[in-house]
A and B are shown apart, each in its own frame.
Chain A
Amino acid sequence: MIRIGSMLGDITRSLFRRPFTERYPFVVKPAPERTRGELLWESSKCTGCMLCVRDCPADAISVTVLDRAAKKFIFRYRTDRCIYCGQCVVSCKPGALSMSPAKWHFASTSKESFSIVHGEVPQQPASPPEK
């Protein structure tokens, strides 16, 4: 072991290797399978129990029950509040929630994109025609 310049081997070897740096965003490697990205919600499995809302540490989920039997809910998810902890996924007994490894870059210039709403707000009845 050299006592002076002990990293000589490292630096000479690095000259002949590719740099370790990933040149994001020109090179984007896929995230591992379990990466906790965007929260996905399957309305067919949801029972409206609201455990996800209660257990979320960041108050990022809100569920409005329109018709429990017909499985009509409005599920609102705030990506800017979410801390991507995955507790809601575990709390949901029917397994309606999962986190997608595909989408995890939410940076945006407008705040509207941070609020993801699933489900339809019921339409207002049409206004009476003009006379």
Chain B
Amino acid sequence: MSVLLVIVTYLIFPGGLFVIVGSLAYEYADRKLIARFQNRVGPRWFQPLADLVKLLVKEEIVPAGVNRGLFIWLPAVALAAALAAAVYVPMAGLAPAWSFPGDVVCTVYLLMMMTLCIGLAGANTSDRFSIIGAVRALTQLFSYEAPFLLALLGPAVVSGSWRIAQINGYAQDHLWMIVTQPLGFLVALLGLMGKLELSPFDAPEAETEIVSGALTEYSGRGLAFFRLGRDIELFVGLTLIASFYLGGLANPLQFLVKTLALLFVTAGLQSLFARLRIDQTVGLWWRIGAILGLGQLLILIALKTAGVPL
């Protein structure tokens, strides 16, 4: 590809700027939907952008007793990882900007970087709330990550490939995998909510218990990067799940409709439940989540070996 095309693809569309703008738009949609579910008005369309700009112009206070380099660079690494993950998924319904065999695993790891960075950031400070938040974030990471990966492997197994582009293509040609692998879909969607610390899995940042969890000490640019990273992960995660389970993303219209539908469901799930305690989250995932994920995978393998067309 020519250099100009590369720059545009990675930095403007469908990577980089498009991802950022899209994720802000999805954050708005998420907050607006939750508000409407709760019979409230909700923010106006530019609210997430305004939040981002406001945070970027605020002073960044580095608390005493932290490793300064880690404190400043962890948010940047998290944001970079999230942006990098966007490169591999069929963003905007177009072919992924870069693709290689095994990139589904690579994407999952890139998405996981965010949580690791949050955990490290929380452990980096001497603030009690942050430490507890970090511990909870990492505990939650250990509980949902395995089932989530298993849920994403389901479509990979069925399509016989480890490339997201090929899985996407396979999903377009065959029956929607939400129908053939409903358990996997459930685990994947809930796993995404756990990864993003959305209610009811928001114990790591339980406002009424530990202020802001691991991000308590962050302000200004660091907080802006973490929040943006989280929005981008929402965007990328929804794209991934829609592409795998909702019959692939062939064009921008399908992309819009399917990811928004998923967002609708996610917003509904966020409004329906009380926050789970961290031990309840872990219990839930290790018992039900892991079993469902494993079970689904085993069923798929069995069916595939038996030669049932899926």
Contacts and interface: CB of A to CB of B under 8 A. Distances in A.
Direct contact of A and B (CB under 8 A): yes
Contacts of B38: 11, 14
B272 A5 contact: yes
A21 interface: yes
A8 interface: yes
Contacts of A7: 271-272
Contacts of B41: 19, 21, 23
Contact of B39 (A5, A6, A8, A17): A17
B272 A8 contact: yes
B273 A19 contact: no
B268 interface: yes
Interface residues of B, number: 12
B40 A11 contact: no
Nearest to A5: B272
Contacts of A4: 272-273
B36 interface: yes
Contacts of A10: 39
A70 interface: no
A97 to B, nearest CB: 39
B261 to A, nearest CB: 14
B47 to A, nearest CB: 15
B273 A20 contact: no
Interface string B24-44: 000000000001111111100
A14 B272 contact: no
A15 B273 contact: no
B40 A15 contact: no
Nearest to A19: B41
Contact of A19 (B40, B271, B272): B40
A14 B273 contact: no
A57 to B, nearest CB: 36
B125 to A, nearest CB: 36
Interface in A1-37: 4-8, 10-11, 14-15, 17, 19-21, 23
Contacts of A21: 40-41
Interface in B179-197: none
Contact of B37 (A6, A15, A20, A23): A15
B199 to A, nearest CB: 13
Nearest to A13: B39
Interface of B: 35-42, 268, 271-273
A-B CB proximity, top 6 nearest: A11-B37, A5-B272, A14-B39, A19-B41, A21-B41, A20-B39
18 contacts: A5-B272, A6-B272, A7-B272, A8-B268, A11-B37, A11-B38, A11-B271, A11-B272, A14-B36, A14-B38, A14-B39, A17-B39, A19-B36, A19-B39, A19-B41, A19-B42, A21-B40, A23-B41
